């Protein structure tokens, strides 16, 4: 697989450098591709069955969100640097096909070995064409981006070795490569590139209504909170870190928010902020997996009730449900849990609880700030939106006493 870094000396660099208009075209193209990697990876985050892959892909999604922020900030300082100028229809059509993979390993091959590989080469060639003085800012930025994508490529090499049916995913990768070459690559340089055929294996993607897992993880209840408080410390600790692992449901809600956000023309700032929130929830779930294994347990369950509730909500209500209904509900548990670990001398558990507590405070603040902005020209208040969200929950659960959380 030929994606390895290009060796480049100062003598290899283009003598001309990149002018403002040429540079803005390249950066807009890169921002579009980085954004699509966020959107499509969030969609497949809901389908990929191995939780270890989910956690790592969550990290990669946040990396792409940071790249978009850096690029947009740079475009804001360039004459003619509007970031939303449209690109060639053939490129857009090609990129939108990548998500429609026949299975998760095919998606990984298409995303990493075709789209990200091409984007990596694009960044490498752009760096080569930069003048060290005129394009100093751009070189600094691109040289931060390149190693992060290279790291992702090393990771996916290892993951694809586990593909149980590589013929399908290799055919998908090959078909996408042919399609991309037919339009002249991600710069769409072909003389005629207004049509891209659907690759072999094309299956139209749709987000599932529940998170998919492999046979290790069952969708079953977690111990209610009041029962955990009466357990011996060691038993309660296992149940508490099952709750940490279960925060994959919150990451799933955020993945669905981000996937939908592009169709609702949400701002780049919204995408960035909620991608950060999404990354935090992936980390929290990873806290659970790590600590459970240290305690001699394997993650074996996820309660998906709250995720399923969210999938019947409009985008705005999903944001409200997670940040201003659920997270404030759990907040009173954070400090006592932190102190309990401190009293027990359990520094490892305390470390994870410390970061979780800090992150969740910011999530509530972020949710309120964004809902204030999104409702600025809306007749409803945040309290009315919360009432609407609770009404949806009551409608979804008509035979239950309405409790915000079963665990």
Same domain, 109 and 167: yes
**Last residue of some domain: 137, 166, 187?**
187
336 CB-contact burial (10 Å; exposed 0-12 / middle 13-18 / buried 19+): exposed
Same domain, 227 and 164: no
What pLDDT sits at residue 329?
Answer: 95
Collapsing DSSP states into helix, strand and coil, what is residue 301? strand
Same domain, 229 and 105: no
Q: Are 84 and 151 in contact (CB under 8 A)?
A: no
Same domain, 390 and 287: yes
Structural domains in the chain (count): 2
In a domain, 163, yes or no: yes
Same domain, 388 and 284: yes
Residue 10 CA neighbour count, 13 Å, CB half? 2
In a domain, 128, yes or no: yes
Alpha-carbon span 58 to 255, nearest angstrom: 9
Alpha-carbon span 117 to 106, nearest angstrom: 15
Q: Which residues contact 175 (CB under 8 A, 6 or more apart)?
A: 199, 200, 201
**Last residue of some domain: 130, 163, 187?**
187
Confidence of residue 83 (pLDDT cuts 50, 70, 90): low
Residue 394 CA neighbour count, 13 Å, CB half? 6
Same domain, 252 and 165: no
In a domain, 206, yes or no: no
- Cα–Cα nearest to 294, from 234, 360, 233: 234
Q: Which domain holds residue 350?
A: 220-396
Alpha-carbon span 266 to 68, nearest angstrom: 14
**Last residue of some domain: 164, 187, 210?**
187
In a domain, 105, yes or no: yes
Same domain, 301 and 235: yes
What pLDDT sits at residue 193?
Answer: 57
Task: Work out the number of other CB atoms within 10 angstroms of the CB of residue 261.
Answer: 21
What are the contacts of 308-313 at 24+ separation with CB within 8 A? 308/209, 308/210, 309/392, 309/393, 309/396, 309/397, 310/253, 310/256, 311/209, 311/210, 311/256, 312/392, 312/396, 313/389, 313/392
Q: What is the pTM of this model?
A: 0.94
Phi, psi of 218, deg, nearest 5: -105, 150
Alpha-carbon span 228 to 37, nearest angstrom: 40
Count of helices and strands (H, E) across the chain: 17, 2
In a domain, 170, yes or no: yes
Q: What is the pLDDT of residues 143-188, one digit of tens each?
A: 999 999 999 999 999 999 999 999 999 999 999 999 999 999 999 8
What pLDDT sits at residue 3?
Answer: 53
Same domain, 386 and 238: yes
Alpha-carbon span 61 to 67, nearest angstrom: 10
Structure tokens at 238: 């296992």
Each residue of 377-407: b (16+ CB within 10 Å) or e?
Answer: eeeeeeeebbebbbebbeebeeeeeeeeeeb
Structure tokens at 72: 């947009």
Same domain, 182 and 228: no
- Alpha helical stretches, state H, 98-214: 104-108, 117-129, 136-160, 166-182
Q: What is the pLDDT of residues 261-288, one digit of tens each?
A: 999 999 999 999 999 999 999 999 999 9
Same domain, 275 and 166: no
87: domain CATH number is 1.20.1260.10
Alpha-carbon span 300 to 307, nearest angstrom: 17
Same domain, 144 and 246: no
Q: Kindly report the length of the chain.
A: 407
Q: What is the pLDDT of residues 298-340, one digit of tens each?
A: 999 999 999 999 999 999 999 999 999 999 999 999 999 999 9
What pLDDT sits at residue 397?
Answer: 87
In a domain, 404, yes or no: no
- Cα–Cα nearest to 348, from 224, 241, 201: 241
Q: Distance between alpha carbon 269 and the CA centroid of its chain, in Å?
A: 15
Task: Work out the number of other CB atoms within 10 angstroms of the CB of residue 70.
Answer: 18
Same domain, 177 and 226: no
In a domain, 193, yes or no: no
Q: What is the pLDDT of residues 206-251, one digit of tens each?
A: 999 999 999 999 998 999 999 999 999 999 999 999 999 999 999 9
- Distance between start and end Cα atoms, the chain: 46
Alpha-carbon span 179 to 190, nearest angstrom: 12
DSSP secondary structure code for residue 4 in this structure: P
In a domain, 140, yes or no: yes
């Amino acid at each position: 697989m030929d994606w390895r870094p290009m060796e480049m000396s100062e003598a290899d660099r283009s003598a001309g450098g990149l002018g403002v208009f040429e540079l803005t075209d390249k950066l807009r193209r890169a921002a579009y591709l980085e954004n699509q990697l966020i959107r499509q990876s969030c969609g497949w985050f809901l389908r990929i069955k191995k939780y270890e892959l989910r956690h790592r892909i969550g990290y990669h999604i946040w990396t792409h969100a940071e790249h978009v922020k850096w690029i947009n900030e740079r475009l804001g300082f360039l004459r003619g640097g509007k970031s939303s100028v449209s690109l060639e229809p053939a490129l857009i059509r090609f990129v939108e096909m990548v998500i429609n993979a026949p299975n998760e390993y095919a998606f990984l091959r298409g995303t990493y070995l075709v789209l990200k590989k091409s984007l990596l080469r694009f960044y490498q060639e752009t760096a080569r064409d930069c003048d060290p003085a005129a394009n100093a800012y751009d070189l600094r930025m691109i040289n931060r981006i390149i190693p992060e994508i290279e790291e992702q490529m090393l990771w996916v090499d290892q993951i694809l070795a586990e593909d149980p049916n590589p013929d399908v995913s290799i055919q998908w990768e090959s078909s996408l490569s042919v399609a991309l070459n037919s339009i002249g690559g991600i710069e769409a340089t072909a003389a005629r590139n207004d049509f891209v055929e659907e690759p072999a294996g094309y299956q139209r993607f749709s987000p599932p209504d529940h998170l998919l897992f492999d046979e290790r993880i069952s969708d079953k209840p977690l111990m209610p909170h009041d029962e955990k408080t009466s357990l011996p410390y060691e038993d309660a600790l296992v149940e508490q870190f099952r709750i940490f692992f279960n925060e994959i449901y919150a990451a799933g809600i955020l993945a669905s928010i981000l996937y939908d956000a592009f169709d609702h023309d949400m701002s780049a700032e919204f995408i960035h902020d909620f991608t950060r929130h999404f990354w935090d929830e992936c980390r929290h779930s990873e806290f659970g997996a790590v600590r459970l294994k240290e305690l001699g347990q394997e993650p074996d369950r996820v309660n998906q009730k709250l995720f399923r509730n969210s999938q019947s909500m409009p985008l705005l209500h999903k944001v409200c449900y997670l940040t201003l209904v659920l997270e404030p509900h759990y907040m009173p548990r954070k400090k006592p849990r932190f102190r309990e670990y401190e009293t027990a001398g359990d520094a490892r558990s305390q470390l994870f609880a410390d970061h979780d507590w800090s992150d969740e405070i910011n999530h509530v603040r972020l949710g309120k700030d964004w809902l204030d902005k999104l409702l600025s020209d809306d007749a409803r208040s945040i309290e009315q939106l919360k009432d609407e969200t609770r009404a949806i929950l009551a409608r979804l659960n008509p035979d239950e006493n309405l409790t915000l959380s079963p665990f």
